[in-house]
Structure 1
Amino acid sequence: MTEVPELPDYVFPSTSPQRPEPSVRELAEIPAVEVITRAAVMMMSAAAEKLGLSEDDPDESPHRDLDEARRLITALAGLVKASAEYLGPHAGPVRDGLKQLQLAFRESSAFPDEPGQGPGEKFTGPVW
């Protein structure tokens, strides 16, 4: 029999018998800018893991997967471009994080993409 995975607290409202006392706010109470920022941070963290940046030697990371990193960075770039006007003071740090991931991807690639063709660059333009 397959075991049911544990789901995050936000999946179940406070009336759920499975989670009578939620440890996080309900989604309806969280401002959109916070949801967007959290999503961006999660995508940045996942991309960094897929680039192997959590290891002393990224090339030796068991989690390194440049194809997955490309997808995450591209999705993050789309999110940042679509939501930049709503992010306010968070826009700068999120853009900086995205750029650093794009540069790390280029550095990690055995055959770097042409300028403007790297992950997310269709949204951000070429990254140097």
Structure 2
Amino acid sequence: MNDGLDTPDNPGAQSADLDNDRDLASIPSVEVISRAAVMLMSASAERLGLADADPESSPHRDLDEARRLITALAGLVTASVEYLGPHAGPIRDGLQSLQRAFRESSAFPDEPGQGPGEKFTGPVY
């Protein structure tokens, strides 16, 4: 069984999965950065419980984890915005939406400028 994880019985399984898509060296940097951003956005939304009908009772909700993911996303976006071209706007909008959702989800919201990733993006209201 190939579960995509390297194991002693299955070395290189993860790299084999990448070969199935495309050789990593042939993927443009903007696509790698965009994919990473989308993965961080999706994981953040899951941790905020946004994928469930009732976010507050979501079994996946974990605001501490969401804070980390949103901060990582903000750092990635800030560091790579000049390379994202037309993708920059939608990715920044998604990031700001997650930052707002985090603030709304918090029992004790952070002050503007102190929320997840706001040291990179500036205050989000």
Query: So what's the TM-score if we normalise by structure 2?
Result: 0.88
1:89 maps to: 86
Root mean square deviation, CA, Å? 2.2
For 1:11 and 1:83, the matched residues in 2 are separated by: 26
Partners of 1:10 and 1:27 within 8 A in 2: no
Deviation of the 1:5 alpha carbon: 5.1
Match of 2:106 in 1: 109
Q: Is the 8 A contact 1:10 1:26 kept in 2?
A: no
Shift, 1:12, TM fit: 1.8
Q: Match of 2:118?
A: 121
1:10 touches 1:24 (CA, 8 Å); kept in 2?
Answer: no
Give CA-to-partner distance per residue, 1:74-99, whole Å, 9 cap, x none: 00000000000000000000000000
Unaligned runs of 5+ in 1: 14-18
> Within 1, Cα distance between the matches of 2:5 and 2:42?
20
1:61 is matched with which residue?
58
Q: Confirm whether residue 7 of structure 1 aligns to residue 5 of structure 2.
A: yes
Q: How many residues align?
A: 119
Per-residue CA shift, 1:28-49, capped at 9, x if unaligned?
1101110000000000000000
Change (3 A) 1:90 1:10: farther
Q: CA deviation at 1:6?
A: 2.7
Please state which structure has a larger fraction of its residues in helix. Answer: 2
| Structure 1: distance between partners of 2:106 and 2:28 | 37
2:41–2:95 Cα contact (<8 Å) kept:
yes
Give me the whole-angstrom Cα distance separating, in 2, the residues matched to 1:11 and 1:36.
Answer: 19
Partner of 2:32: 35
Q: Aligned partners of 1:37, 1:12: CA distance in 2, in Å? A: 20
1:125 and 1:119 map into 2 onto residues whose CA distance is 10
Instruction: Report the equivalent of 2:9.
Output: none
Deviation at 1:11, TM superposition (A): 3.5
Give runs of ≥4 in structure 1 deviating > 4 Å: none
Instruction: Answer whether contact 2:44 2:98 (CA < 8 A) is retained.
Output: yes
If the length of structure 1 is used for normalisation, what is the TM-score? Answer: 0.86
